[in-house]
Structure 1
Amino acid sequence: MPDTATPNLAGAHAMAPRLPRRPFAGAAPWLLSAPALLLFCAMLLVPLLLTGLLSLHAFDGTRGVLPAMTAANYLEILGDSYYHEIFLRTAGMALAVTVLAVVFGVPETLILSRMRSPWRGLFLIVILGPLLISVVVRTLGWAILMGNNGLINETLQWLGLVDAPVKLVFTQTGVIIALTHVMMPFMVISVWASLQKLDPQVEQAGQAFGASPFTVFRRVILPQILPGILSGSIIVFALSASAFATPAILGGRRLKVVATAAYDEFLNTLNWPLGAAIAVLLLIANVIVIVGCNRLVERRFRQVFEA
């Protein structure tokens, strides 16, 4: 006799009502991200596109921007040693600021992560507090500190380390010092985010097996915080290369960088196409340097730690 207690699963499945297929189910992620995507295009991509188109226009000193399209602006920048010097100075300054931010920011974040409450929160506020103050205000503060009669020179002379005031304002050294202070919080934030994912038991296990503190840092801590260091370096380099306020105030008219050169073309000579071409080349150089260095450093560290 057939077992009437056993349910007929095939029949039940066939008689079950089928749910209607949603025609826009695959488009749901695009529809949800559409407002942010439109805002991104309107606030970033469209201005960049318009700047790129402006850089291809011709310019005449008497008639202004001409509708004719030309690559003369890019050829002028690429063929003039004056602009070569400006781009090299900007790259060297951004690289120096990035190296100093890594040298001082990584140990500072490691020390901060090992502090106990409430000191850790207090010092974190002290480090990140300058982000709440305008860059112009901080740069003016550094201009006062580094002046001939500023606190730095007076302290050096009082200690007998120098006989005459050290010139720091309107020099590249002064700009690098101030930019390092301005960019330091970005490095601390990036490394701090990586340190929060670090399991302290792994570090303690390395020490328990007899590894030295330097070996534990090199083999355990550094590989795990390396993404934060790379992210912070990219942010610091990009912001330093495109910085305007600090080089303009502390560098003056003679110590030009790419941002101040573009500013002068826009507002002083009114050569908007040339200024736009300088800005586009700065963007392209930033992208090339950041992507290339990121891949090179990641490959080099991967080879070291795998060995």
Structure 2
Amino acid sequence: MATDIHTPTPATGPTTTRPETRNWTPYLLSLPALALFATLLVVPLVMTALLSLNSFGFYTGIENVWRLDNYLEIVRDDYFHEVFLRTFRIAFLVTLLSAVIGAPEAYILRRMRAPWRGICLLIVLGPLLISVVSRTLGWALLFGSTGLINQGLMGVGLIATPIEFMYTETGVVIALTHVLVPFMVLSVWASLQRLDPQVENAALSLGAKPFTVLRRVVLPQVVPGILSGSIIVFALAASAFATPAIIGGRRLKVAATLAYDEFLNTLNWPLGAAVAVLLLAANIVIIVGCNRLVERRYKQVFE
């Protein structure tokens, strides 16, 4: 008759856990980058913010006092309201045009085969390879009353008198869109890399029409890239300086050229610093808000 033999388990005392030691290696490796970031970005921003609190007099110069007079002047003066409104209106139009042009362009490039894909991609990225001043001066030559655009339109009989592109918002929007479309194309391209081409073929094989495939399959995948590209394009367009300064001239002020004039023409550094700080703050608020939309859209698409 078999009997069960139970072996007693040895009693174990209270277990002691060793305190976890923090690994400081990642922090130490990040110190050079943090020091460079603080030196080249944070310190100038803090100095600019402090400068915006000073006062300025034409006979006394910059007075080392702490006041909000510059910000109050910007808030109360309609001239500054018009400049900031124009700045963000131009940035919005440039972002909208970049999305309308860049999203289909990225989709077409993705479906191309080598070597045409590489050639067309190089053409799209071409504006980024040219100096901003040279590129803008080229647009100034095209936009002139005797430029190629007006002469061509008049030659085919579409217009009787030259169209005013120079020193107008239209000219600034066109020139900025030309250089910022590549950022939208790259953002949408990155989103399209997540899309399996076989998904489109499967939808077509199940009887879906091409437009339905674009609307129900491709567009949801592209929207996060469009939102990400819009953030980049809007920030760059709102803070652009060279293109508005050359195409817009002195008559068409935006926030960046206004700050430049306050610094170097009227020598009112505190007021120019206040304009720059408000432009940065407005950009941050808009970018953070759009970033929330991007994150929410990514969760809806990829979760």
* 4+ residue segments displaced more than 6 Å: 300-303
Query: Given the alignment of the two structures, is residue 127 of structure 1 paired with residue 124 of structure 2, yes or no?
Result: yes
Q: CA deviation at 1:75?
A: 0.3
Q: CA deviation at 1:83?
A: 0.1
Contact 2:231–2:287 (8 Å) recurs in 1: yes
**1:228 aligned to which of 219, 225, 230:** 225
Q: Deviations for 1:73-120, whole angstroms, at most 9, x for unmatched residues?
A: 000001100000000000100000000000001111111111111000
Q: CA deviation at 1:181?
A: 0.1
Structure 1 residue aligned with 2:5: none
Structure 2 residue aligned with 1:203: 200
Alpha-carbon separation, structure 1, partners of 2:89 and 2:299: 26
1:131 alignment partner, SS class: helix
Contact 2:51–2:269 (8 Å) recurs in 1: yes
Structure 1 residue aligned with 2:272: 275
Q: CA deviation at 1:299?
A: 5.5
Contact 2:52–2:272 (8 Å) recurs in 1: yes
Structure 2 residue aligned with 1:71: 68
For 1:95-106, list aligned pairs within 5 A.
95-106=92-103
**1:175 aligned to which of 172, 176, 180:** 172
Q: CA deviation at 1:298?
A: 6.3
Q: CA deviation at 1:22?
A: 9.1
Contact 2:143–2:149 (8 Å) recurs in 1: yes
Q: CA deviation at 1:193?
A: 1.6
How many equivalent pairs are there? 286
Contact 2:224–2:298 (8 Å) recurs in 1: no
Structure 1 residues 289-298 or 252-261, which shifts more? 289-298
Q: CA deviation at 1:286?
A: 0.8
Structure 1 residue aligned with 2:213: 216
Query: Given the alignment of the two structures, is residue 137 of structure 1 paired with residue 138 of structure 2, yes or no?
Result: no
Q: CA deviation at 1:196?
A: 2.0
In structure 1, runs of 5+ residues without a counterpart are 1-9, 11-19
Q: Deviations for 1:193-224, whole angstroms, at most 9, x for unmatched residues?
A: 22222211112112222222222222221222
Q: CA deviation at 1:300?
A: 7.9
TM-score, with normalisation over the residues of structure 1? Answer: 0.88
Identity of aligned residues (%): 64
Q: Deviations for 1:259-281, whole angstroms, at most 9, x for unmatched residues?
A: 00000000000000000000000
Structure 2 residue aligned with 1:61: 58
**1:264 aligned to which of 261, 285, 289:** 261
**1:115 aligned to which of 112, 115, 138:** 112
For 2:182, the aligned partner's letter is: P
For 1:142, the aligned partner's letter is: W
Q: CA deviation at 1:290?
A: 2.0
Alpha-carbon separation, structure 2, partners of 1:129 and 1:182: 9
Call closer, same or farther: CA 1:298–1:33 in 2, change over 3 Å: closer
Structure 1 residue aligned with 2:42: 45
Structure 1 residues 160-169 or 224-233, which shifts more? 224-233
1:69 alignment partner, SS class: coil
For 1:252, the aligned partner's letter is: G
Call closer, same or farther: CA 1:197–1:297 in 2, change over 3 Å: closer
Call closer, same or farther: CA 1:274–1:126 in 2, change over 3 Å: same
Structure 2 residue aligned with 1:240: 237
For 2:70, the aligned partner's letter is: N
Supply the RMSD in Å over aligned alpha carbons: 2.2
For 1:177, the aligned partner's letter is: I
Q: Deviations for 1:174-204, whole angstroms, at most 9, x for unmatched residues?
A: 0100000011111111111222222111121
Query: Given the alignment of the two structures, is residue 158 of structure 1 paired with residue 172 of structure 2, yes or no?
Result: no
**1:187 aligned to which of 184, 190, 209:** 184
2:62 alignment partner, SS class: strand
Q: Deviations for 1:120-173, whole angstroms, at most 9, x for unmatched residues?
A: 000101111221111111110000011100110011001111111111111110
For 2:141, the aligned partner's letter is: I
TM-score, with normalisation over the residues of structure 2? Answer: 0.89
Structure 1 residues 97-106 or 283-292, which shifts more? 283-292
Call closer, same or farther: CA 1:84–1:187 in 2, change over 3 Å: same
